[in-house]
């Protein structure tokens, strides 16, 4: 039982909590960016409400609640959090 729990915990940590070495994004960050791209929220378009993006992402890709999606969008917009802010 102990070994199976440790294996599960490590797979969760590696799969969800650690950023990917290729781009530095966690899966939730990738889902938000993909959802915004699929929804047509690009740099050349006008601003839209964040609730629309959060609803699309939560409905299609991340059905675990909206708080983590809002936190992710805030992190992607902060200048001190990433080298280049990805959300404006």
What is the predicted pLDDT for the residue at 26?
85
pTM across the whole model: 0.76
What is the predicted pLDDT for the residue at 70?
92
For 35-41, the CB contacts below 8 A with 24+ separation are 35/60, 35/61, 36/87
Give the max Cα distance, the chain. 53
Task: Check residues 62 and 38 and name the one with the higher pLDDT.
Answer: 38
User: How far is Cα 69 from Cα 55, in angstroms, rounded to an integer?
Assistant: 9
Mean pLDDT value across residues 26-55? 88
Q: Render pLDDT for 1-35 as a digit per residue (tens, 0 to 9).
A: 888 888 888 888 877 777 777 888 888 888 899 99
User: How far is Cα 6 from Cα 79, in angstroms, rounded to an integer?
Assistant: 36
User: How far is Cα 39 from Cα 61, in angstroms, rounded to an integer?
Assistant: 12
């Amino acid at each position: 039982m102990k070994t199976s729990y440790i294996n599960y915990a490590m797979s969760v940590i590696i799969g969800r909590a650690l950023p990917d070495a290729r781009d530095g994004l966690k899966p939730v960050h990738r889902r938000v960016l993909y959802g915004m791209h699929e929804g047509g929220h690009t740099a050349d378009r006008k601003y839209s409400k964040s609730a629309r993006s959060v609803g699309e992402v939560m409905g299609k890709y991340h059905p675990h609640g909206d708080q983590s999606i809002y936190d992710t969008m805030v992190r992607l917009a902060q200048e001190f959090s990433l080298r280049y802010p990805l959300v404006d």
